Structure 1
Amino acid sequence: MESRGYLTPVDEVWAEPKPQSFFRRHALFLLTMVVPVFLAFVYLFFIASDRYVSEARFIVRTSAGGTGLEGLASLVSTQGMSRANDETFAVNEYIMSRDAADLLIANNGLRDVLARPEADIFNRFPNFFTRDTKTKLYRQYEHMVSADIEGATGISTLEVTAFRPDDAQMMAKALLKYAEELINRLNERAHRDALRYAKSIVDDARADFTKLEGRISEWRNKSGTVDPGKESLAALEQIGKMTTELAAMEATLAQTIALTPANPSIPALRERVLSNRSAIDRLKRDVVGNDTSVANKLAMYEQFVVEREIAAKAMGAADLNYLKARQDAERQQLYLQTIVEPNLPDQYTYPRRLLYLLGVIAVCGLIFLIIRSITQIAMEHSA
């Protein structure tokens, strides 16, 4: 009896499996290798825009020459020039800062450079997935500008990427200009601060000296003396002269008494001797012996003299320090020296199409092998 097309249980066991389609059998390879590599190929060779890089090199130096002839020699030679490492890092940070980006936006049309028609839909700013904000613009700026310093030489390399060669060169020149302006501001600030500090020391020293002179004048008016030292010398000279005269008078009196005891001039001589002694004692008391004596005034005046000498020396030292600070500020200037001017690129640098495509193939191949190995291990364990 015919089976009329129905399969028996034995036929169902020995029936061949239905063949799978090509896409089903190679789905893993297509999804992990063919499709990503094809998309990368299309983007790199048909969509990605050419990007040009303008490169410049510069170094920040400071003049640290000596004074005198050395300082003069440093004006006509590079002797005495040294690297300014801290300022170099500061310049590099400034180039990569929002301040530099804002200057480029205001003065050099950074927004127009990022939105050139040559740019592809992914690299243009703004695009369909990037909002037009200052933060996003700054992120785009960080991708187009790089500033790196070589530790061994202190030379900084500035690279600016743009969709047009002249844009890249223009932006690099502008950044070097703004970096030099930063150096000039640092010089001006350092010069101003150094002179302000030195000038404050000079002003303080002069104020102290003027204040001391006022105290001396007030003391002179109060004590009624100008120079106790000179006055004491004059008083001592007068005492010495009067003492000599007294000795002569006493000798004359003694001789007169010895020769002519009844001489009528003896009382007058005695009166003169007593008067001279009194005058000498009074002068001695004026020099020493009371609170208003010349000796006390001299002690106070000598203290004033010492203080005035110290104040005068301090004022002179402050003036010299101000002059030295001015010379140092003029000599220890920072300079931005451009070693390599920004070039005008005649060939695009990015994207490196073949290299990027080989990288995509390598990554996709690795992913394919990993997934396939995991799948085979899972199937073997399930069997």
Structure 2
Amino acid sequence: MSVEIRNPQGQPLTPADRSQAVAESLKQLARVSRFADRKKGIRSYQSHVKSDPWVPVLFALCFALPTLIGALYYGLIATDRYVTEARFAIRPAIGSVDKASPDAVGTTSGSQMHQMVAQDSLITYAYIHSRPMVEAVEKQVPLREIFSRDSIDYISRFDPEKPIEKFLKYWKHRVEVEIEQTSGIMTLTVNAFDAAESLAITKAILAESERMVNQLSVEARNDALAESTREMKLAEERITRLRLAVRDLRNQDGVLDAQKTNETNLKVLAELRTARINFAVQLGLSQRDLAPESRRIIDLKTQIKDLDDNIARIERQSASQDPEQKRLLSDALTRFEALDNERKDAEKYYAKVIAAHERARIIAARQIEFFNLVVQPVLAESAQQPRRILMISLIAAGSAVLFAAALFARKQMT
């Protein structure tokens, strides 16, 4: 049996039109089959859901119950928390950086100011969450009483009978601190169940932090002064020891000062030769006008002869010394020059140590870094925590994911 396809006018189709008509028919059949498969899959899933009794249970346990509990807690039970924020930074005093520059003797009176400020900032950051901070603040504010009132919900309330270690963990949830790496500004955030109490805790933390920073500054300054004082005493002992060694060398074996003796002889010879030249000039001028037998000529010749004798005597004494005596004098002169040079170096170093000690004393007499409040803490006018809608939404979203995972696991099991 053959079926001939015709157009609406009743005329037979061309081969090209016939092929296009067949292709359109095949596409329509494919669409119908896909729709039928989809409907079949939906019906299969619905029947699976209706036939599996665990699906409602999983829905109730994984989604409905957690969402309901979260909505009840954050909507009706959770106690309002008031947040107080303060910002502060540790800054060097004006002029301290220049005065605390490294000195020439290596004492820590010239420690790097910027590095010390950065270290103190990190110390303060860690100190706020430490046990000494909690104990210091508790002396000013009754922390356990504040966080354990009956008006606070059970989950947020602290049991006052628990030890300090448990309270320290609770403290870290109520007090947060962040530090900006670039500027060094620290942000302190305190959560409490009363606005006035939150402000009081914040002020107590700031006061204790400032006290600790000042104590660190005092200890650093005192350490620098003590080190500079020790260095100065060592320099004094060194220069005293060298001076005694020079004195002993001068008095040893009758040698008072070989260097000064040699310098004195050279100076005397120079003076004698200068005087002889002057007398010789005067004699030459006088001989032009006076007779050789005159008193003036005779006196000048006598003085010149005496000078020649003295010059010759000093030169003979220097040239006629015993070789062993010359060796002893040479050794003494060498040791003396070495000790004298070391003594001069010690005196220069001692002068630098005195200057460094004076610099350390000036720094120790003033505060080199300050605890500066950038943002003052103020009384909160409304509760900022907990964020009820956000927390309920997060719980609902997490419950939905949990329910979907439970359904998938259930389907894999069946």
1:209 to 216, 219, 239: 239
2:211 to 165, 181, 184: 181
1:27 to 24, 49, 57: 57
Q: Which residue of 1 aligns with 2:393?
A: 358
Q: Deviations over 1:297-345 (max 9, x none)?
A: 4444333322221221121122123234445666882222111112211
Change (3 A) 1:279 1:346: same
Secondary structure at the aligned position of 1:108 is classed as: coil
Secondary structure at the aligned position of 1:54 is classed as: strand
How far residue 362 of structure 1 moved from its aligned partner, in angstroms, is: 1.9
> Partner letter of residue 350 of structure 1?
Q
Q: Which residue of 2 aligns with 1:333?
A: 368
Q: Which residue of 1 aligns with 2:132?
A: 99
Gaps of 5+ in 1: 1-19, 69-80, 245-275
Change (3 A) 1:231 1:99: same
Secondary structure at the aligned position of 1:36 is classed as: helix
1:301 aligns with 2:331: no
1:60 aligns with 2:90: yes
d(CA) in 2 for partners of 1:239 and 1:296?
26
How far residue 60 of structure 1 moved from its aligned partner, in angstroms, is: 1.8
Q: Is the 8 A contact 1:169 1:342 kept in 2?
A: yes
User: Which shows bigger deviation, 280-289 or 158-167?
Assistant: 280-289
d(CA) in 2 for partners of 1:93 and 1:134?
17
**5 Å matches for 1:268-279?**
none
Secondary structure at the aligned position of 2:325 is classed as: coil
Q: Is the 8 A contact 1:232 1:287 kept in 2?
A: no
User: Which shows bigger deviation, 301-310 or 341-350?
Assistant: 301-310
Change (3 A) 1:106 1:331: closer
> Partner letter of residue 291 of structure 1?
Q
1:122 aligns with 2:155: yes
User: Which shows bigger deviation, 25-34 or 132-141?
Assistant: 25-34
How far residue 278 of structure 1 moved from its aligned partner, in angstroms, is: 12
1:311 to 321, 339, 346: 346
Q: Is the 8 A contact 1:126 1:132 kept in 2?
A: yes
Q: Is the 8 A contact 1:239 1:280 kept in 2?
A: no
Q: Which residue of 2 aligns with 1:291?
A: 325
> Partner letter of residue 37 of structure 1?
T
> Partner letter of residue 149 of structure 1?
I
Q: Is the 8 A contact 2:249 2:332 kept in 1?
A: no
d(CA) in 1 for partners of 2:408 and 2:270?
125
1:346 to 368, 381, 391: 381
How far residue 148 of structure 1 moved from its aligned partner, in angstroms, is: 0.5
How far residue 185 of structure 1 moved from its aligned partner, in angstroms, is: 2.0
User: Which shows bigger deviation, 160-169 or 183-192?
Assistant: 183-192
> Partner letter of residue 392 of structure 2?
L
Q: Which residue of 1 aligns with 2:121?
A: 88
**5 Å matches for 1:36-75?**
36-63=66-93, 65=95, 67=98
Q: Deviations over 1:14-68 (max 9, x none)?
A: xxxxxx9xx9984333333333333223222332211111100111222474659
d(CA) in 2 for partners of 1:330 and 1:55?
34
> Partner letter of residue 216 of structure 1?
V
Superposed CA RMSD:
3.8
Structure 2-normalised TM-score?
Answer: 0.64
How far residue 165 of structure 1 moved from its aligned partner, in angstroms, is: 1.2
How far residue 149 of structure 1 moved from its aligned partner, in angstroms, is: 1.3
- Percent identity reads 26
Q: Is the 8 A contact 1:113 1:167 kept in 2?
A: yes
Q: Which residue of 1 aligns with 2:145?
A: 112
Change (3 A) 1:287 1:159: farther
Secondary structure at the aligned position of 2:60 is classed as: helix
Q: Is the 8 A contact 1:116 1:163 kept in 2?
A: no
User: Which shows bigger deviation, 230-239 or 149-158?
Assistant: 230-239
User: Which shows bigger deviation, 181-190 or 98-107?
Assistant: 98-107
Change (3 A) 1:286 1:344: farther
1:136 aligns with 2:166: yes
> Partner letter of residue 117 of structure 1?
D
**5 Å matches for 1:13-24?**
none
Secondary structure at the aligned position of 2:149 is classed as: coil
Change (3 A) 1:92 1:111: same
Secondary structure at the aligned position of 1:342 is classed as: coil
**5 Å matches for 1:226-305?**
226-232=256-262, 237=268, 283-284=317-318, 289-291=323-325, 297-305=332-340
Structure 1-normalised TM-score?
Answer: 0.69
Q: Is the 8 A contact 1:232 1:294 kept in 2?
A: no
d(CA) in 1 for partners of 2:315 and 2:183?
86
Q: Which residue of 2 aligns with 1:145?
A: 175
